[in-house]
Amino acid sequence: MLRVLSDLKPIRRVSQIRQYSPEPVPDDVVHQLLELARWTGSAKNGQPWRFIVVRDKDRLRKLGALRPPINWLASAPLGIAIVLDGAEPMFGAYDEGRLTERLLTGATLLGYGGGTAWFGGPAQDAEAKRILGIPDDLTARQIVMIGRPKSREDPRPTGPMRGRKPLSELVSYERWGASKQK
Ligand SMILES: Cc1cc2nc3c(=O)[nH]c(=O)nc-3n(C[C@H](O)[C@H](O)[C@H](O)COP(=O)(O)O)c2cc1C
């Protein structure tokens, strides 16, 4: 029991990082993360994704300006934008979530940090696609930022709480709402 806990500890708390040091992310780290992403499981192994590695500051600043809740993104040295073929939207959304979690977890395990920035909806997605040169028929709604964390604090004046609900509020046994038999 204890051994499992210590094995899981490095990935139990993968915080959303919104403040980064300017230190560049080396190409081999980016490559390792892209490899990790590539091996994500997907519905029917469809692998509906493509990735755009973005380091250009001006481009990152433009993406960060799409809406205030993601204006922190330009502090990161690098982002990986996720592009989906959109053929199966429900599967695509699920696959994208799995993929994102891998990038965030992988970055954390390599001593970096990550944060997802959602462009914000159809109008912002279209503008992000223009900034990144993504064809109209593809889906793009987020960029996953990677870098060395400068702070784990949320710099925004109003952000969500950082904790998590306790298991006692989340889990039932055998039937909805039933507690564990002693
Ligand atoms: C679908 C989705 C959209 C998100 N959009 C944003 C966003 O626009 N800006 C932001 O700073 N964080 C965004 N986040 C990150 C969440 O706020 C974060 O995962 C949550 O607050 C937990 O953070 P913590 O693990 O650091 O406690 C998003 C997360 C998800 C899953």
Q: Is 124 in the pocket of ligand 1 (CB under 6 A)?
A: no
Q: Whose CA is nearest to atom 7 of ligand 1?
A: 117
157 CA distance to ligand 1 middle (Å): 15
Tokens 């919104």 belong to residue: 18
CB 59 near ligand 1, within 6 Å: no
Evaluate: CB of 118 within 6 angstroms of ligand 1: yes
Residue 71 Cβ inside 6 Å of ligand 1? The answer reads: no
CATH topology of domain 12-152: NADH Oxidase (3.40.109)
- pLDDT tens track for 88-131: 999 999 999 999 999 999 999 999 999 999 999 999 999 999 99
- Give 164 Cα–ligand 1 centroid separation in angstroms: 13
Query: Which is the closest atom of ligand 1 to the Cα of 72?
Result: 11
pLDDT at 87: 86
Listed by start position, the domains of the chain span 12-152
Each residue of 3-12: pLDDT tens digit? 668 889 999 9
The protein residue whose alpha carbon is closest to atom 14 in ligand 1 is 116
**Nearest alpha carbon, ligand 1 atom 23:** 16
User: What is the residue-level pLDDT of the chain in tens, covering all 182 positions?
Assistant: 556 688 899 999 999 999 999 999 999 999 999 999 999 999 999 999 999 999 999 999 999 999 999 999 999 999 999 999 988 999 999 999 999 999 999 999 999 999 999 999 999 999 999 999 999 999 999 999 999 999 999 999 888 999 999 999 999 999 999 999 87
Q: Looking at ligand 1, which residue's alpha carbon is closest to its atom 28? A: 116
